[in-house]
């Protein structure tokens, strides 16, 4: 398998209501991102609200996206679960519809020691029908996949990469140092604010939520950083930070980022902004602030 490099947007899941997909919106969003040049897609991640959806909707969404993409770019499917068996079942569904790989956080109800993480991921990778990317997401999962654990797991033939959403760059630099030269293991950074510098320092790409809205911006950042064009990286970083400090900071919610992205996509005419529990979409006042932010960015 060739290493996947570039921007892999963690796709939001367009919803119309409780546990009901906005199918037309989802199709528009896929086309919007592909037109923007993204290198792959990642569905059912944190940005995709996967855990808040029923399994029925998760399965339906995987099928819908894979059918729409139809092989134009690789699609990764999030199978993070507290039950190993449910992860494997969803991965089988994903494979059947053409996914290229799956992504999984550690189990997020029971905490795990690092030794337990090794045992868990080994058992999972053994059972999965598709290559597995580790997903470090300590703020939601409580557990950190330590660098030594990642190095141990990287030797499993079916574990092919790691996405880090910790924003802890000591950790990510350690991963780059220990694993960055391997041809069979990829390193992606979650927070889009860090894609520029991470790729400059040797990462393989970014799983950046902002690419739902502005796919071409993050693609250009990846390319500038990949060519070590620092001047361009700094210019693009300025715009990325404008998005980050306006669209993602409305209200005092832990979920301001998610609400902001969905609200912006709705204002851009791409899809509905319904959010599943425990979250609710922005009200009018907050929506007006997102509209203002989009105007300031020249996006509407």
The correct pick among 17, 72, 119, 155 for binding its own copies (CB under 8 A) is: 119
Task: Tell the smallest beta-carbon distance from residue 231 to its own copies (Å).
Answer: 8
Task: Tell the smallest beta-carbon distance from residue 74 to its own copies (Å).
Answer: 25
Nearest residue (CB) to its own copies, 249 versus 300 = 249
> What's the CA angle centered on 98, arms 51 and 157, to 5 degrees?
80
| Piece of 33-41, 115-123, 152-160, 291-299 that binds its own copies (CB under 8 A) | 115-123
Nearest to 208 by CA among 228, 188, 225: 188
Binding mask 124-143 for its own copies (x = CB under 8 A): x--------------xxxx-
The correct pick among 79, 276, 282, 287 for binding its own copies (CB under 8 A) is: 276
What residues from 16 to 55 belong to the interface with its own copies (CB under 8 A)?
18-19, 46, 49, 51-55
Nearest residue (CB) to its own copies, 191 versus 260 = 191
| Interface with its own copies, residue 146, by CB under 8 A | no
Question: What DSSP letter does each residue of 16-32 carry, written as one string?
Answer: EETTEE-HHHHHHHHHH
3-state secondary structure labels for all residues of 45-101: CCCCCHHHCCHHHHHHHHHHHHHHHCCCCCEEEECCCCCHHHHHHHHHHHHHCCCCE
Nearest residue (CB) to its own copies, 81 versus 100 = 81
What residues from 159 to 188 belong to the interface with its own copies (CB under 8 A)?
167-171, 173-174, 176-178
Known catalytic membership, residue 163:
yes
Known catalytic membership, residue 262:
no
Spatial separation of the C-alpha atoms in residues 138 and 189, rounded to whole Å: 14
- Core vs surface per residue 73-98: b (16+ CB within 10 A) or e: bbbbbbbbbeebeebbebbbbbbebb
Kindly state the DSSP code that residue 212 receives in the 8-state scheme.
G
């Amino acid at each position: 398998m060739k290493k996947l490099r570039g921007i892999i947007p963690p796709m939001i899941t367009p919803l119309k209501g409780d546990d009901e997909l906005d199918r037309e919106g989802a199709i528009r969003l896929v086309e919007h991102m592909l037109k923007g040049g993204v290198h792959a897609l990642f569905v059912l991640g944190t940005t995709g609200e996967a855990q808040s959806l029923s399994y029925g909707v998760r399965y339906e969404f995987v099928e819908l996206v894979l059918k729409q993409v139809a092989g134009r770019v690789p699609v990764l499917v999030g199978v993070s679960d507290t039950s190993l068996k449910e992860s494997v079942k969803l991965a089988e569904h994903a494979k059947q519809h053409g996914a290229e790989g799956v992504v999984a956080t550690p189990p997020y109800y029971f905490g795990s020691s690092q030794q337990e993480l090794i045992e868990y991921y080994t058992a999972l990778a053994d059972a999965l029908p598709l290559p597995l990317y580790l997903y470090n997401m300590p703020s939601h999962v409580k557990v950190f996949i330590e660098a030594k654990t990642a190095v141990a797991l990287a030797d499993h033939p079916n574990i092919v990469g790691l996405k880090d959403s910790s924003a802890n760059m000591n950790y990510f630099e350690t991963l780059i140092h220990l694993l960055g030269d391997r041809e069979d293991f990829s390193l992606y950074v979650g927070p889009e604010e860090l894609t520029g510098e991470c790729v400059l320092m040797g990462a393989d790409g970014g799983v950046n939520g902002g690419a739902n809205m502005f796919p071409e911006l993050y693609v250009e950042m990846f390319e500038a950083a990949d060519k070590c064009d620092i001047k361009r990286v700094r210019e693009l970083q300025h715009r990325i930070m404008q998005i980050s400090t306006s669209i993602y900071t409305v209200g005092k919610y832990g979920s301001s980022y998610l609400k902001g992205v969905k609200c912006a996509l709705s204002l851009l005419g791409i899809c509905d902004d319904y959010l599943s529990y425990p979250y609710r979409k922005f009200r009018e006042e907050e929506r007006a602030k997102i509209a203002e932010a989009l105007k300031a960015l020249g996006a509407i």
